Structure 1
Amino acid sequence: MNQKIDLTSQYLGLTLKTPIIASASPMHTDMEYLKTLEKAGIAAIVLPSLFQEQIDYAFEELDTLHHYHSAEASSYLPIDNIASGPYGVGPEAYLKLVETAKKTVSVPVIASLNGYTNSAWVEYAKLIQEAGADALELNIFSVPTNINISSQQIEDGYISIIANIRKHVDIPLAVKLSPYFTSMGNLAQRMIDAGANGLVLFNRIMSPDIDIQNLDITSRYSLSNMSEGLIALQWIGLLARRVNASLAASTGVDDYQQVVKYLLAGADTVMTTSALLRHGPNYVEALLDGLCMWLKARQQTDLKLMRGQMSWQKLKNNQAYERSHYIKLVGSFHPK
């Protein structure tokens, strides 16, 4: 990587040495993996999510214990083993993970909470802050199966979560959300007004499938591909320079071209997990080298000139982000 090119970036009020962040990954409980990421040039690391279901389960167990036993006995509750979750890290162990990661790497460590209601989020947000996390990412995700709940109620619930946590923690808050909202721009602004310092666009939705042989609901984890990033690219471009918050692009980042595209659209940082799982943690170097090569070819020495150059606000022909582009695209198809 050409050291003369300045890749310094700002995210959530944090100064980062590059714009590339390792988003939440099952590998981020491995301290040797984190060391390799840092050595390769990663700017910050998002830890795996602690899920609301794990927190709720732990609190239910505590309530049960307090109901049937003395307060002194509660200290013997093996909370480390309760609802250990997909990464083998339960609520209490998660705080230790934050502490250990902070001692292991010098880049910012961002904790992650994944849920959909207020519940015990506030309490654990405070504990995560005390454990030393540099920032907290709220991965808000729910499947609205209740057909009697309106979209307004769902959005109001999300705003309530952010506002509640903001009242109790001082560290920066990022909100990772899905693209499936009627008025994304308005919701983004409401989240910022409620206390979010940044937005991560977007969360990947893991949808179920149907096994037609065994008549069963199945699911499988798949890594993201470049085409999945187009909707995030669109909304980064639409929101850049129009909202007073950091914008992190997520999903579909597999090579440096996607990094360049997101930065041109106006992203402050670019997050990736799938590329690092496919190619290994040292792949960060390839992403950074490619970005530097692109800048050098245009005789640019830092990211200031190129960041947001292709955003909705910057472009004279910003209709490219709107309905006219859809009409043009549909009309351009010609069968062979």
Structure 2
Amino acid sequence: MSTKRRVTIAQIAEEAGVSVPTVSKVINGRPEVAPDTRHRIERLLHKHGYQRRVSQDEGPAGLVDLVFAEIESPWAMEIVRGAEDAAHEAGASVVISVLHTHAGPGRDWLERLAARRTDGVVIVASKLSSVVQAQLSARSLAFAVVDPEGEPAPGVVSVGATNWHGGLAATRHLLELGHRRIGMISGPADMLCSQARIDGYRAALETAGLQVEPELIRRGTFLVDSGHDHGHALLSLDDPPTAIFAGSDLQAFGVFEAARQRGMRVPEDLSVVGFDDLPLSRSAWPPLTTVRQPLQEMAALATRTVLGMGRGEPPETRRVELATELIVRDSTAPPRS
């Protein structure tokens, strides 16, 4: 039985028509390589599935990289807490990077990463291109994605939540209270979690025999201003909803403010459900009914997984969705008769 031989740097160099040191510079993120040459070498590394040999004497670096698209949110802080707890248990520390874009890690970030050692990378709410995936693999870096923005490629470890079930549970709760005209505010259409929450909302309405009305579904960002603006838009309809399911707690807080500005009370005049169960949802007034997304657990699982992969332990599964749970508080009530 024959086995596939592992490609070497020398073979990559010969095929690319460059020197071995040039290939080594690309693998290690050194900047002094012409862009065209770098791209050619990276394509060959990806084509041959090259993985850097790691010295057994190096030992763990004691660092995990946590990479965010954005971090200006209490949601991100919950992710940080979960990652730090798991890293601390393993005797490691967390290095946080903020990309300020949902396009995923770029060349500059990869070059900075290659200039130092890390035990693994956890990428949060971003796209992961095939090029970045290949570059991480070529450097023998364990990586996982938390709450992936798009569909992860086969073989990529991802940790998310049961967003569809959460959307279903939130909408069913409002239906059981007697609401029949329910607004939905969610995030961008190209985000998996956003679309899954809308699909759960749709399924609950259709199961109840109600028509899904496009004017009641709004897409924005998961931030307060989006909830405020879309909340006003929904409440300005000729036949406004008696309840709104917001795709995040921050959006729900924006709906609270929109209702207040219109002289409406929550839940007497409008029921509101959020999604995430941030610490702020318990201290809001009224306390927010919301779908608990286990953010800390998601980050901790991804961190433990990449640390294990860095030690040569294969992940138990490549795709994990942790359960969501409806938490009923005081922001929902039966509609006015």
Q: Identify the TM-score tier after normalising by the shorter chain.
A: under 0.3
TM-score, with length taken from structure 2: 0.28
- The structure that has the greater radius of gyration is 2
